[in-house]
Every structure is written in C-alpha cells, then in structure tokens.
Amino acid sequence: MSTKGKLNPLDWDLGNVPPGLPWGGVDEAGRGAWAGPVVAACAVIDATAVQRWGHVLRSARDSKQLSPERREGIAAELKLVLPAWSVAMVDNLAIDRENILQATMEAMRQAVKGVALRPRMLLVDGDHAPGSGLPERLLVEGDRLSCAVACASILAKTHRDAMMRELDCTYPEYGFARHKGYGTPEHRAALKTSGACGIHRTSFGPVAFLQKHDISVRKAVMQDLDACGSVVELQAWVDTKLRPAYGVLKASWVEELRQLYGQRLAAFALEAS
C-alpha cells in the first residue's frame, strides 16, 4: 500500500535516500503562467541539517498547500537552515524561443549548478529529467511526497511571487501582483484591453490570440539595432529596446531581429580578432 500522504515528507526522504549522503530536491514555479519567467529551485539537505533543524524541515509542504504568509515564513527559515540552496530563472523570451518544457529543464539545471554543496542524489518533481549530471529520481507530485522537493517548491514559488510583485510596478495595468501572470479572468480582460507587454509569453495561445502588433515599433527597434556600434551597445539593446517592445512584435519579426543581432555580434567578434 502506498505511503503517499501518510509519512511526513522528511521521513519519506530519510527512508528513500542512502544514509549519510547529502541529497537535493528540485521544483519549478510559473510553468503554466502566461507572463514572467519560469523559476526553479534546488534545496540540499544533509544529516547535520536533519539533526539540528528537523523541526523546521518537517514544516515544509507543497507550496500550493500553504497560505502566502506561511509560505514566506517557511522560506525565510529554510534559507537559514538548509546547507545549500539555489534559485534560477529562464525569462519569457527564452521560453518562447525554446518552449516551456525545455526552459523549465534549463532553469532546473541552473539551480542545481548554483548550489554550494553538491548533492549526491537529486529528487525531481515531475516526469521529465533535467539532465543535471547527478543521479535523478523523478517523482510525480514530488512536492507532496519529498521534503527536499517541498523545500525547493517553497523557495521557487516565493522567489517568483516576489518578482511578479516587482513587475506589477512596471506593468500595473495587468494585476501581476494578484495573479502572478496566470490566466485568470482579470488577466485575460487586461490583455483584451492593453494587449501583451514585454514579459508576456507570446507563444502561449491565449496571449498570441490577444496580442496587438505594432509595425512602427518593429521599425524603431530595428533602427536602434542598426545604430549599435559595439558589443556592449548590442547587449544594452536587448534589455532596453527589444525586451520592452516584445509584447507588440510578431514572432517572425522577433526571429528576424534575432538573426540580425547574431550577425552584428559575429561581425564585432571578427573585428576584435
């Protein structure tokens, strides 16, 4: 008989991880959102942390089962007691370029790479392996089963929520602080009124359907690209020109701009060689 839902997640981990070895959990937040980045976290636990801070680790649960206030409080504690943790993100431009699954796997790999203590085994939420280079065990609904994955779930969720609250100040018309970029009726209504903005995932069907294109913006962004005279200016162009305009650009226009950007970058590299 399955013990799922009966054991505390920490007890499940202790019964399924080789004793004496540090282990990690990986989870993501924002995979299904219409806007913003996908964020992944890696949380590492070892025997010392269990011995000293087991009472804190036992409070970790699937982040979706916790109130925002409780989730924030546990996240703050975890950052103090975990021997290592890391958060990584992949932005909406990369999501649209690669697809959300590949972007999620890349965020997970970055999060694992970022931890100061390398785990000997990785527990991964879901049914796709990120290919971290470590032994990986896939766990469907792992954030409810495993303590390490639950810790990662909390860290990823609180980090992304904070980012979306900050982005709400830049794009107040969308209500990102409330729905965090997910497809709520409020978000859909804002898209109908304002179209997509620079952090929307325009490859997602509902966003693409409501996106409003502006050819004059395309021309202005291309002119700014043509005016770039160095690699530094090219890099600044991505952040100050392309990203803010992204929501009103067709996918074919973005691809054209990417190709031109690559050509300019290659030309500057040749000049420097």
Check if the beta carbon of residue 152 is closer than 8 Å to that of residue 122: no
Check if the beta carbon of residue 154 is closer than 8 Å to that of residue 78: yes
User: Which tens digits make up the pLDDT trace of 33-75?
Assistant: 999 999 999 999 999 999 999 999 999 987 888 899 999 999 9
User: Of 126, 133, 106, nearest to 40 (Cα)?
Assistant: 106
Strands (E), 16-91: 23-29, 38-45, 84-90
User: Which tens digits make up the pLDDT trace of 21-31?
Assistant: 999 999 999 99
Tens of pLDDT along the chain (273 residues)?
A: 344 447 899 999 999 999 999 999 999 999 999 999 999 999 999 999 999 999 999 999 878 888 999 999 999 999 999 999 999 999 999 999 999 999 999 999 999 999 999 999 999 999 999 999 999 999 999 999 999 999 999 999 999 999 999 999 999 999 999 999 999 999 999 999 999 999 999 999 999 999 999 999 999 999 999 999 999 999 999 999 999 999 999 999 999 999 999 999 999 888 887
Hey, what are 153's tokens?
């779930």
pTM: 0.93
How is domain 9-167 classified at the CATH fold level?
Nucleotidyltransferase; domain 5 (3.30.420)
Sequence ranges of the domains in the chain: 9-167, 215-272
Residues in the chain, overall count: 273
DSSP string of 54-108?
HHHHTT---GGGS-HHHHHHHHHHHHHHSSEEEEEEE-HHHHHHH-HHHHHHHHH
